[in-house]
Amino acid sequence: MKTSALKQIIFLLVFIILLSVNGLFSQTKDPDVILNSVKEAFTVIEDYEVDVHIKIDVEFLKVPEGDAKLYFKQPNKIHVESEKFALLPKQGLDFSPLALLDDKYTAIYEGDTTINGIQTCVVKIIPIGSDSDVILSTLWIDQTRDLIMKVESSRKPTGTYTIEFTYEKYQDKYDLPSLMHFSFTVDRMRLPKGMGGQLEAENGKAKEKTGPVIGNVYLNYSNYIVNQNLPDDLFDGPKKEGIKEENK
């Protein structure tokens, strides 16, 4: 083979390799840019109130379905009112991305995937510092609307939880959840004695169940009222008579 032809082949191979490398780098997304867009998109919602229907499905709890009124105000104020007590998941009740991304963290872009027909990018968040009880969180983000579609988080020592969101557009401009599915896994050994459940053994004696406890909470949101300038004393004032509430 002539030297000139060999040089041309080598040049062509190098060119192809450079194109491939450039293509790989061009597909890499900046996770901090993605997360900042999500936070910025949510800042247009200064406050809201919404009706919430709660359904709790946990094997060791018998909780009737209930309703509550939820109030939110930036950056992280929450006030909940319910005529009857409901076990509300603290981690799932506040779906504000500002609260989720408030602490220092390192973000890693993992790739793209599809959830329920929606193209999302996957970003992993590793908290910086020992104060956080979160070990690792994974977010599935719809970049078209800058919305978090799913969160999976590992916490110490309670276990893992997952939140999946379904959104609707309210007042023709605000994308807010219409349904939130909160699922969690807890080590049965960490539950108070007697709450882990029992199985009937062959000899007629009950024995403790083994394996993790899996629970599900379904929150249906309706009748949003957005940006009505809710007063601060709604969140900081004393409890109302006859109503149980949870403040954050």
> Domains of the chain: which residue ranges?
28-183+216-229
pLDDT at 132: 67
In one-letter notation, the amino acid at residue 168 is E
pLDDT at 28: 74
What DSSP string runs through 58-105? ETTB----EEEEEEEETTTEEEEEESS-----HHHH---HHHHT-S-E
Any idea which residue has 């978090």 for tokens? 148
- Secondary structure (H, E, C), 107-139: EEEEEEEEECCEEEEEEEEEECCCCCCEEEEEE
Q: CATH number of the domain at 28-183+216-229, please? A: 2.50.20.10
pLDDT tens sequence across 31-82: 999 999 999 999 899 999 999 998 988 876 777 888 989 999 988 888 888 8
pLDDT < 50 regions, the chain: 15, 18-26, 86, 90-91, 192, 194-202, 206-207, 238-248
Average pLDDT, the chain: 76
pLDDT at 245: 41
What number of CA atoms fall less than 13 Å from residue 166's CA on the CB side? 11
Q: How many CB atoms lie within 10 A of CB 207?
A: 10
Give yes or no for a contact between 218 and 186, defined as CB atoms under 8 angstroms apart. no
pLDDT at 105: 87
In one-letter notation, the amino acid at residue 79 is H
Whole-angstrom distance, CA of residue 63 vs CA of residue 82: 14
pLDDT at 88: 54
pLDDT at 82: 81
pLDDT at 185: 79
